[in-house]
Amino acid sequence: MWFTKKKVARSKKYFTDEWVGEWKRALEESELYKVKGKEWNASVLLRMDPPSPALKKESYIGFYLDLQYGECHELRYADETDRDIADVILKADESTWLTLIEQKKDPAMMIMKGSLKLEKGSLVMLTNQKQAAKALLQTAPSYEKESLDEEYISETIDKIPVRRKHISFNTTNRGLDFESFPMKLFQKAKQFGVWDPASISFEKDREDWKKLSDDEKTIIIHLSSLFMAGEEAVTLDLLPLIQTISKEGRLEEEIFLTSFLWEEAKHTEFFSRFVKEVFVERPDFEQFHKPFYKKLFYRQLPEDLNRLYTDSSPLAQLKASGTYNMIVEGTLAETGYEAYHKMLKENNLLPGLQDGIIKLKQDESRHIAYGLYLINRLLNDNSDCSAPFEKHLEELLDDATNVIHEIFEPYDVVPFGLEKEWFLNYAIKQFQQRINKLGIY
Protein backbone atom coordinates (compact mmCIF):
# COMPACT_ATOMS: atom_id res chain seq x y z
CA MET A 1 0.00 0.00 0.00
CA TRP A 2 1.55 3.25 -1.12
CA PHE A 3 -0.52 5.48 1.09
CA THR A 4 -3.15 5.08 3.78
CA LYS A 5 -6.65 6.42 3.76
CA LYS A 6 -7.99 8.11 6.88
CA LYS A 7 -10.09 5.79 9.01
CA VAL A 8 -13.12 6.81 11.07
CA ALA A 9 -15.16 5.11 13.75
CA ARG A 10 -18.08 3.11 12.37
CA SER A 11 -21.59 3.70 13.63
CA LYS A 12 -23.15 0.82 15.60
CA LYS A 13 -26.56 1.43 13.99
CA TYR A 14 -25.82 -0.42 10.79
CA PHE A 15 -27.55 -3.68 9.87
CA THR A 16 -30.20 -3.47 12.62
CA ASP A 17 -33.96 -4.02 12.11
CA GLU A 18 -34.35 -0.24 12.12
CA TRP A 19 -31.68 0.16 9.44
CA VAL A 20 -33.25 -2.52 7.20
CA GLY A 21 -36.68 -0.89 7.55
CA GLU A 22 -35.28 2.52 6.73
CA TRP A 23 -33.53 1.13 3.64
CA LYS A 24 -36.71 -0.54 2.40
CA ARG A 25 -38.68 2.69 2.76
CA ALA A 26 -35.97 4.70 1.02
CA LEU A 27 -35.84 2.19 -1.83
CA GLU A 28 -39.61 2.24 -2.27
CA GLU A 29 -39.57 6.05 -2.44
CA SER A 30 -36.54 6.37 -4.74
CA GLU A 31 -37.54 7.83 -8.09
CA LEU A 32 -33.96 7.33 -9.30
CA TYR A 33 -34.11 3.57 -8.68
CA LYS A 34 -37.51 3.31 -10.38
CA VAL A 35 -35.93 4.76 -13.53
CA LYS A 36 -32.53 3.01 -13.41
CA GLY A 37 -33.93 -0.34 -12.32
CA LYS A 38 -36.91 -0.54 -14.67
CA GLU A 39 -35.29 -3.33 -16.70
CA TRP A 40 -33.76 -5.25 -13.79
CA ASN A 41 -35.69 -8.33 -12.71
CA ALA A 42 -33.64 -10.45 -10.31
CA SER A 43 -33.35 -11.70 -6.76
CA VAL A 44 -30.13 -10.44 -5.19
CA LEU A 45 -28.24 -11.66 -2.13
CA LEU A 46 -25.76 -9.20 -0.62
CA ARG A 47 -23.60 -11.59 1.37
CA MET A 48 -21.35 -10.47 4.19
CA ASP A 49 -18.37 -12.77 4.67
CA PRO A 50 -17.60 -13.08 7.48
CA PRO A 51 -20.95 -11.91 8.90
CA SER A 52 -20.93 -8.98 11.29
CA PRO A 53 -21.44 -9.94 14.96
CA ALA A 54 -25.06 -8.75 14.82
CA LEU A 55 -25.81 -10.90 11.75
CA LYS A 56 -23.88 -13.90 13.02
CA LYS A 57 -25.84 -13.89 16.27
CA GLU A 58 -29.05 -14.57 14.33
CA SER A 59 -27.41 -16.90 11.77
CA TYR A 60 -27.92 -14.35 9.01
CA ILE A 61 -25.44 -14.07 6.13
CA GLY A 62 -26.52 -10.76 4.61
CA PHE A 63 -29.54 -9.25 2.90
CA TYR A 64 -32.00 -10.60 0.33
CA LEU A 65 -33.75 -8.34 -2.18
CA ASP A 66 -36.47 -9.27 -4.66
CA LEU A 67 -36.11 -6.67 -7.42
CA GLN A 68 -38.74 -6.46 -10.14
CA TYR A 69 -38.59 -3.78 -12.83
CA GLY A 70 -37.82 -0.75 -10.69
CA GLU A 71 -39.58 -1.97 -7.57
CA CYS A 72 -38.34 -3.87 -4.53
CA HIS A 73 -40.92 -6.48 -3.56
CA GLU A 74 -38.90 -7.78 -0.62
CA LEU A 75 -35.90 -6.65 1.43
CA ARG A 76 -34.98 -8.75 4.46
CA TYR A 77 -32.17 -10.53 6.25
CA ALA A 78 -30.83 -13.52 4.36
CA ASP A 79 -29.90 -16.98 5.60
CA GLU A 80 -28.11 -19.92 3.99
CA THR A 81 -31.23 -21.11 2.15
CA ASP A 82 -31.26 -17.89 0.13
CA ARG A 83 -28.00 -18.83 -1.57
CA ASP A 84 -29.90 -21.39 -3.64
CA ILE A 85 -32.75 -19.13 -4.74
CA ALA A 86 -30.87 -15.90 -5.42
CA ASP A 87 -30.13 -15.06 -9.06
CA VAL A 88 -27.20 -12.85 -8.11
CA ILE A 89 -24.87 -13.10 -5.10
CA LEU A 90 -22.43 -10.31 -4.29
CA LYS A 91 -19.93 -11.02 -1.51
CA ALA A 92 -17.70 -8.73 0.55
CA ASP A 93 -16.60 -8.25 4.13
CA GLU A 94 -18.28 -5.82 6.51
CA SER A 95 -15.73 -3.06 5.91
CA THR A 96 -16.29 -3.15 2.15
CA TRP A 97 -20.07 -3.02 2.49
CA LEU A 98 -19.72 -0.03 4.82
CA THR A 99 -17.45 1.67 2.29
CA LEU A 100 -20.06 1.11 -0.42
CA ILE A 101 -22.79 2.54 1.79
CA GLU A 102 -20.96 5.48 3.33
CA GLN A 103 -18.99 6.62 0.32
CA LYS A 104 -21.74 5.80 -2.20
CA LYS A 105 -19.28 3.77 -4.26
CA ASP A 106 -20.24 2.22 -7.57
CA PRO A 107 -20.69 -1.55 -6.94
CA ALA A 108 -19.83 -2.44 -10.55
CA MET A 109 -16.51 -0.64 -10.21
CA MET A 110 -15.87 -2.36 -6.86
CA ILE A 111 -16.33 -5.69 -8.64
CA MET A 112 -13.92 -4.67 -11.36
CA LYS A 113 -11.37 -3.64 -8.76
CA GLY A 114 -11.74 -6.97 -6.98
CA SER A 115 -12.96 -5.76 -3.57
CA LEU A 116 -16.53 -6.94 -4.24
CA LYS A 117 -16.94 -10.49 -5.55
CA LEU A 118 -19.60 -11.69 -7.98
CA GLU A 119 -20.20 -15.11 -6.45
CA LYS A 120 -23.22 -16.01 -8.57
CA GLY A 121 -24.78 -14.50 -11.69
CA SER A 122 -23.70 -13.02 -15.01
CA LEU A 123 -21.09 -10.30 -15.22
CA VAL A 124 -22.57 -9.20 -18.55
CA MET A 125 -26.00 -8.75 -16.93
CA LEU A 126 -24.52 -6.86 -14.00
CA THR A 127 -22.54 -4.46 -16.17
CA ASN A 128 -25.70 -3.84 -18.19
CA GLN A 129 -27.49 -3.01 -14.92
CA LYS A 130 -24.63 -1.15 -13.24
CA GLN A 131 -26.61 2.08 -12.95
CA ALA A 132 -29.48 0.21 -11.32
CA ALA A 133 -27.09 -1.48 -8.85
CA LYS A 134 -25.53 1.87 -8.00
CA ALA A 135 -28.92 3.52 -7.47
CA LEU A 136 -29.98 0.56 -5.31
CA LEU A 137 -27.07 0.85 -2.89
CA GLN A 138 -27.27 4.63 -2.81
CA THR A 139 -30.61 4.29 -1.04
CA ALA A 140 -29.01 2.32 1.83
CA PRO A 141 -28.99 4.53 4.97
CA SER A 142 -25.70 6.11 5.96
CA TYR A 143 -25.56 7.37 9.54
CA GLU A 144 -22.35 9.32 9.42
CA LYS A 145 -20.44 11.60 7.15
CA GLU A 146 -18.42 9.89 4.46
CA SER A 147 -15.13 8.68 5.84
CA LEU A 148 -13.29 10.35 2.98
CA ASP A 149 -14.52 13.73 1.90
CA GLU A 150 -13.00 14.20 -1.52
CA GLU A 151 -11.02 17.34 -1.28
CA TYR A 152 -10.94 19.70 -4.16
CA ILE A 153 -7.64 19.18 -5.88
CA SER A 154 -6.70 22.25 -7.78
CA GLU A 155 -5.77 21.74 -11.38
CA THR A 156 -4.28 25.18 -11.55
CA ILE A 157 -2.05 25.51 -14.53
CA ASP A 158 1.43 24.57 -13.47
CA LYS A 159 3.53 26.02 -16.19
CA ILE A 160 7.13 24.98 -16.29
CA PRO A 161 9.21 27.68 -17.97
CA VAL A 162 10.52 26.76 -21.37
CA ARG A 163 14.27 26.29 -21.14
CA ARG A 164 15.95 28.86 -23.32
CA LYS A 165 19.42 27.57 -22.52
CA HIS A 166 21.12 24.69 -20.77
CA ILE A 167 22.89 25.38 -17.51
CA SER A 168 24.37 21.92 -17.04
CA PHE A 169 24.00 18.34 -18.29
CA ASN A 170 23.19 15.22 -16.31
CA THR A 171 25.66 13.08 -18.20
CA THR A 172 28.59 15.40 -17.38
CA ASN A 173 27.40 16.09 -13.84
CA ARG A 174 25.82 13.22 -11.91
CA GLY A 175 25.84 10.71 -14.77
CA LEU A 176 23.03 8.41 -15.87
CA ASP A 177 21.47 6.16 -13.25
CA PHE A 178 21.68 2.80 -15.01
CA GLU A 179 20.05 1.08 -12.03
CA SER A 180 16.89 3.19 -12.26
CA PHE A 181 13.73 1.43 -13.41
CA PRO A 182 13.33 3.51 -16.59
CA MET A 183 16.90 2.72 -17.69
CA LYS A 184 16.35 -0.99 -17.06
CA LEU A 185 13.25 -0.77 -19.27
CA PHE A 186 15.35 0.99 -21.90
CA GLN A 187 17.85 -1.88 -21.89
CA LYS A 188 14.98 -4.32 -22.46
CA ALA A 189 13.62 -2.13 -25.26
CA LYS A 190 16.97 -2.33 -27.05
CA GLN A 191 17.11 -6.09 -26.53
CA PHE A 192 13.52 -7.09 -27.35
CA GLY A 193 12.01 -4.09 -29.15
CA VAL A 194 14.19 -4.03 -32.24
CA TRP A 195 11.93 -5.73 -34.77
CA ASP A 196 10.88 -4.57 -38.22
CA PRO A 197 7.22 -4.76 -39.35
CA ALA A 198 8.45 -4.79 -42.95
CA SER A 199 10.28 -8.09 -42.32
CA ILE A 200 7.13 -10.00 -41.33
CA SER A 201 5.80 -12.21 -44.12
CA PHE A 202 2.06 -12.19 -44.82
CA GLU A 203 2.18 -14.76 -47.61
CA LYS A 204 0.41 -17.47 -45.61
CA ASP A 205 -1.99 -14.86 -44.22
CA ARG A 206 -3.17 -14.05 -47.74
CA GLU A 207 -3.90 -17.75 -48.37
CA ASP A 208 -5.73 -18.11 -45.04
CA TRP A 209 -7.77 -14.97 -45.66
CA LYS A 210 -9.29 -16.40 -48.85
CA LYS A 211 -10.56 -19.43 -46.91
CA LEU A 212 -12.29 -17.51 -44.11
CA SER A 213 -16.06 -17.07 -44.04
CA ASP A 214 -17.53 -13.57 -44.38
CA ASP A 215 -18.39 -13.50 -40.66
CA GLU A 216 -14.86 -14.56 -39.70
CA LYS A 217 -13.39 -11.86 -41.91
CA THR A 218 -15.74 -9.29 -40.39
CA ILE A 219 -14.73 -9.94 -36.78
CA ILE A 220 -11.02 -9.76 -37.69
CA ILE A 221 -11.59 -6.51 -39.61
CA HIS A 222 -13.64 -5.23 -36.66
CA LEU A 223 -10.97 -5.95 -34.05
CA SER A 224 -8.18 -4.73 -36.35
CA SER A 225 -10.01 -1.45 -36.98
CA LEU A 226 -9.97 -0.76 -33.22
CA PHE A 227 -6.25 -1.50 -33.00
CA MET A 228 -5.35 0.49 -36.12
CA ALA A 229 -6.93 3.69 -34.82
CA GLY A 230 -5.81 2.94 -31.27
CA GLU A 231 -2.14 2.56 -32.18
CA GLU A 232 -2.22 5.71 -34.28
CA ALA A 233 -3.93 7.61 -31.46
CA VAL A 234 -1.33 6.66 -28.85
CA THR A 235 1.46 7.54 -31.31
CA LEU A 236 -0.05 10.97 -31.89
CA ASP A 237 -0.85 11.69 -28.25
CA LEU A 238 2.32 10.59 -26.41
CA LEU A 239 4.41 13.69 -27.19
CA PRO A 240 2.94 15.96 -24.45
CA LEU A 241 3.94 13.42 -21.78
CA ILE A 242 7.49 13.20 -23.16
CA GLN A 243 7.75 16.98 -23.11
CA THR A 244 6.48 17.15 -19.52
CA ILE A 245 8.99 14.56 -18.32
CA SER A 246 11.77 16.35 -20.21
CA LYS A 247 10.96 19.72 -18.66
CA GLU A 248 11.13 18.16 -15.21
CA GLY A 249 14.68 17.04 -15.97
CA ARG A 250 13.97 13.31 -15.67
CA LEU A 251 16.52 12.23 -18.26
CA GLU A 252 16.35 8.48 -17.62
CA GLU A 253 12.58 8.49 -18.07
CA GLU A 254 12.83 10.62 -21.20
CA ILE A 255 15.38 8.21 -22.69
CA PHE A 256 13.01 5.30 -22.19
CA LEU A 257 10.10 7.30 -23.61
CA THR A 258 12.01 7.75 -26.88
CA SER A 259 11.84 3.98 -27.36
CA PHE A 260 8.20 4.04 -26.24
CA LEU A 261 7.21 6.45 -29.03
CA TRP A 262 9.31 4.61 -31.63
CA GLU A 263 7.58 1.34 -30.75
CA GLU A 264 4.10 2.88 -30.98
CA ALA A 265 5.02 4.16 -34.44
CA LYS A 266 6.07 0.62 -35.44
CA HIS A 267 2.75 -0.76 -34.19
CA THR A 268 0.92 1.74 -36.38
CA GLU A 269 3.07 0.66 -39.34
CA PHE A 270 2.48 -3.04 -38.62
CA PHE A 271 -1.32 -2.90 -38.83
CA SER A 272 -1.17 -0.77 -41.97
CA ARG A 273 1.14 -3.31 -43.62
CA PHE A 274 -1.14 -6.19 -42.60
CA VAL A 275 -4.16 -4.48 -44.16
CA LYS A 276 -2.32 -3.55 -47.34
CA GLU A 277 -0.82 -6.99 -47.94
CA VAL A 278 -3.72 -9.26 -46.85
CA PHE A 279 -7.07 -7.58 -47.50
CA VAL A 280 -8.28 -7.78 -51.09
CA GLU A 281 -10.32 -4.59 -50.70
CA ARG A 282 -9.93 -1.86 -48.11
CA PRO A 283 -12.98 -1.99 -45.81
CA ASP A 284 -14.74 0.91 -44.13
CA PHE A 285 -12.87 0.56 -40.85
CA GLU A 286 -14.49 3.47 -39.08
CA GLN A 287 -17.94 1.89 -39.26
CA PHE A 288 -16.77 -0.13 -36.26
CA HIS A 289 -15.88 2.96 -34.21
CA LYS A 290 -18.99 3.27 -32.06
CA PRO A 291 -19.88 6.09 -29.59
CA PHE A 292 -18.00 4.82 -26.53
CA TYR A 293 -14.92 3.94 -28.59
CA LYS A 294 -14.96 7.44 -30.05
CA LYS A 295 -15.45 8.95 -26.62
CA LEU A 296 -12.33 7.22 -25.33
CA PHE A 297 -9.99 7.34 -28.34
CA TYR A 298 -11.20 10.37 -30.31
CA ARG A 299 -11.76 12.67 -27.30
CA GLN A 300 -10.65 11.47 -23.86
CA LEU A 301 -7.16 10.24 -24.77
CA PRO A 302 -6.06 13.37 -26.70
CA GLU A 303 -7.74 15.63 -24.15
CA ASP A 304 -5.97 14.08 -21.15
CA LEU A 305 -2.57 13.98 -22.87
CA ASN A 306 -2.67 17.38 -24.55
CA ARG A 307 -3.75 19.03 -21.31
CA LEU A 308 -0.15 18.54 -20.22
CA TYR A 309 0.95 21.32 -22.58
CA THR A 310 -0.74 23.84 -20.27
CA ASP A 311 -1.19 21.91 -17.02
CA SER A 312 1.65 19.64 -15.91
CA SER A 313 0.41 19.28 -12.32
CA PRO A 314 0.70 15.84 -10.64
CA LEU A 315 -3.04 15.24 -11.03
CA ALA A 316 -2.95 16.10 -14.73
CA GLN A 317 -0.05 13.67 -15.21
CA LEU A 318 -1.91 10.98 -13.25
CA LYS A 319 -4.99 11.37 -15.40
CA ALA A 320 -2.94 11.24 -18.59
CA SER A 321 -1.09 8.08 -17.55
CA GLY A 322 -4.27 6.52 -16.17
CA THR A 323 -6.05 6.97 -19.49
CA TYR A 324 -3.07 5.91 -21.61
CA ASN A 325 -1.37 3.17 -19.59
CA MET A 326 -4.09 1.80 -17.30
CA ILE A 327 -7.14 1.82 -19.59
CA VAL A 328 -6.10 2.03 -23.25
CA GLU A 329 -2.97 -0.14 -23.01
CA GLY A 330 -3.40 -2.05 -19.76
CA THR A 331 -7.05 -3.04 -20.09
CA LEU A 332 -8.44 -2.77 -23.64
CA ALA A 333 -5.29 -3.53 -25.66
CA GLU A 334 -4.26 -6.45 -23.44
CA THR A 335 -7.75 -7.94 -23.80
CA GLY A 336 -7.63 -7.44 -27.56
CA TYR A 337 -4.30 -9.29 -27.80
CA GLU A 338 -5.82 -12.26 -26.00
CA ALA A 339 -8.83 -12.18 -28.33
CA TYR A 340 -6.47 -12.36 -31.32
CA HIS A 341 -4.78 -15.34 -29.67
CA LYS A 342 -8.08 -17.16 -29.22
CA MET A 343 -9.08 -16.51 -32.82
CA LEU A 344 -5.78 -17.13 -34.58
CA LYS A 345 -3.47 -19.33 -32.51
CA GLU A 346 -6.15 -21.80 -31.55
CA ASN A 347 -7.22 -22.09 -35.21
CA ASN A 348 -3.72 -21.96 -36.74
CA LEU A 349 -4.55 -18.90 -38.85
CA LEU A 350 -2.73 -15.79 -40.11
CA PRO A 351 0.79 -16.51 -38.79
CA GLY A 352 2.11 -13.09 -39.86
CA LEU A 353 -0.56 -11.29 -37.84
CA GLN A 354 0.13 -13.64 -34.93
CA ASP A 355 3.86 -12.88 -35.07
CA GLY A 356 3.27 -9.14 -35.03
CA ILE A 357 0.77 -9.33 -32.16
CA ILE A 358 3.29 -11.25 -30.03
CA LYS A 359 5.89 -8.54 -30.63
CA LEU A 360 3.37 -5.78 -29.94
CA LYS A 361 2.40 -7.39 -26.66
CA GLN A 362 6.06 -7.57 -25.57
CA ASP A 363 6.49 -3.88 -26.32
CA GLU A 364 3.28 -2.92 -24.54
CA SER A 365 4.34 -4.79 -21.41
CA ARG A 366 7.21 -2.32 -21.04
CA HIS A 367 4.92 0.63 -21.70
CA ILE A 368 2.47 -0.52 -19.02
CA ALA A 369 5.34 -1.14 -16.59
CA TYR A 370 6.53 2.43 -17.09
CA GLY A 371 3.01 3.75 -16.62
CA LEU A 372 2.71 1.95 -13.28
CA TYR A 373 6.11 3.33 -12.27
CA LEU A 374 5.03 6.86 -13.18
CA ILE A 375 1.71 6.61 -11.34
CA ASN A 376 3.46 5.11 -8.33
CA ARG A 377 5.99 7.95 -8.22
CA LEU A 378 3.31 10.61 -8.52
CA LEU A 379 1.07 9.10 -5.84
CA ASN A 380 3.94 8.61 -3.43
CA ASP A 381 4.71 12.32 -3.64
CA ASN A 382 1.11 13.54 -3.93
CA SER A 383 -1.18 11.27 -1.89
CA ASP A 384 -3.90 13.94 -1.87
CA CYS A 385 -4.43 13.17 -5.56
CA SER A 386 -5.52 9.58 -4.91
CA ALA A 387 -9.27 10.23 -4.54
CA PRO A 388 -9.72 12.24 -7.77
CA PHE A 389 -7.42 9.83 -9.60
CA GLU A 390 -9.52 6.85 -8.48
CA LYS A 391 -12.66 8.66 -9.62
CA HIS A 392 -11.03 9.28 -13.01
CA LEU A 393 -10.21 5.59 -13.37
CA GLU A 394 -13.74 4.57 -12.39
CA GLU A 395 -15.22 6.77 -15.09
CA LEU A 396 -12.79 5.45 -17.70
CA LEU A 397 -13.33 1.83 -16.73
CA ASP A 398 -17.04 2.36 -17.19
CA ASP A 399 -16.34 3.61 -20.73
CA ALA A 400 -13.98 0.69 -21.39
CA THR A 401 -16.61 -1.90 -20.46
CA ASN A 402 -19.07 -0.11 -22.72
CA VAL A 403 -16.56 -0.39 -25.57
CA ILE A 404 -16.63 -4.16 -25.03
CA HIS A 405 -20.43 -4.18 -25.12
CA GLU A 406 -20.25 -2.24 -28.40
CA ILE A 407 -17.94 -4.84 -29.94
CA PHE A 408 -20.48 -7.61 -29.42
CA GLU A 409 -23.65 -5.70 -30.34
CA PRO A 410 -23.62 -6.47 -34.12
CA TYR A 411 -23.33 -10.25 -33.68
CA ASP A 412 -25.95 -12.83 -32.75
CA VAL A 413 -23.20 -15.46 -32.68
CA VAL A 414 -19.62 -14.22 -32.61
CA PRO A 415 -17.23 -16.15 -34.90
CA PHE A 416 -14.36 -18.18 -33.41
CA GLY A 417 -16.37 -18.76 -30.23
CA LEU A 418 -15.61 -15.36 -28.68
CA GLU A 419 -17.94 -14.62 -25.76
CA LYS A 420 -18.75 -11.31 -24.13
CA GLU A 421 -18.58 -12.82 -20.63
CA TRP A 422 -15.03 -14.03 -21.27
CA PHE A 423 -14.07 -10.68 -22.80
CA LEU A 424 -15.36 -8.71 -19.79
CA ASN A 425 -13.81 -11.06 -17.26
CA TYR A 426 -10.43 -10.87 -18.96
CA ALA A 427 -10.53 -7.06 -19.19
CA ILE A 428 -11.46 -6.73 -15.53
CA LYS A 429 -8.71 -9.15 -14.54
CA GLN A 430 -6.16 -6.98 -16.38
CA PHE A 431 -7.41 -3.86 -14.60
CA GLN A 432 -7.36 -5.59 -11.21
CA GLN A 433 -3.74 -6.67 -11.73
CA ARG A 434 -2.67 -3.07 -12.33
CA ILE A 435 -4.70 -1.74 -9.39
CA ASN A 436 -3.23 -4.38 -7.08
CA LYS A 437 0.30 -3.41 -8.07
CA LEU A 438 -0.46 0.21 -7.28
CA GLY A 439 -2.25 -0.61 -4.03
CA ILE A 440 -4.59 2.34 -4.43
CA TYR A 441 -7.87 0.59 -3.63
Residues 224, 118 within the same domain: no
Residues 255, 355 within the same domain: yes
CATH assignment at residue 40:
3.30.1050.10
Let me know if residue 145 belongs to a domain: no
Residues 125, 243 within the same domain: no
Q: Are 360 and 267 in contact (CB under 8 A)?
A: yes
Q: What pLDDT was estimated at residue 144?
A: 60
Residues 317, 433 within the same domain: yes
Count of domains observed in the chain: 2
Residues 260, 315 within the same domain: yes
Residues 223, 97 within the same domain: no
Domain endpoint, select from 78, 104, 138: 138
Q: What pLDDT was estimated at residue 306?
A: 96
Q: What pLDDT was estimated at residue 441?
A: 55
Percentage of residues of the chain with pLDDT beyond 70: 92
Q: What pLDDT was estimated at residue 440?
A: 62
Q: What pLDDT was estimated at residue 8?
A: 42
Residues 238, 134 within the same domain: no
Per-residue pLDDT tens listing for the chain (441 residues): 343 334 444 445 788 888 988 999 998 899 998 998 888 888 999 999 998 888 888 899 999 999 998 898 899 999 999 999 999 999 999 888 988 888 888 887 788 777 888 888 888 777 778 888 888 888 998 876 443 334 434 444 444 444 546 777 888 788 888 999 999 999 999 999 899 999 999 999 999 999 999 999 999 999 999 999 999 999 999 999 999 999 999 999 999 999 999 999 999 999 999 999 999 889 999 999 999 999 999 999 999 999 999 999 999 999 999 999 999 999 999 999 999 999 999 999 999 999 999 999 999 999 999 999 999 999 999 999 999 999 999 899 989 999 999 999 999 999 999 999 999 999 988 998 888 888 765
Q: Are 225 and 417 in contact (CB under 8 A)?
A: no
Could you list the residue range(s) of the whole structural domain that residue 324 is in? 181-438
Q: What pLDDT was estimated at residue 336?
A: 94
Let me know if residue 49 belongs to a domain: yes
CATH assignment at residue 216:
1.10.620.20
3-state SS record for 273-307: HHHHHHCCCCCCHHHHCCHHHHHHHHHHHHHHHHH
Q: Which residues lie below 8 Å from residue 240, measured CB to CB, with a gap of 6+?
A: 305, 306, 307, 308, 309, 320
Q: What pLDDT was estimated at residue 114?
A: 79
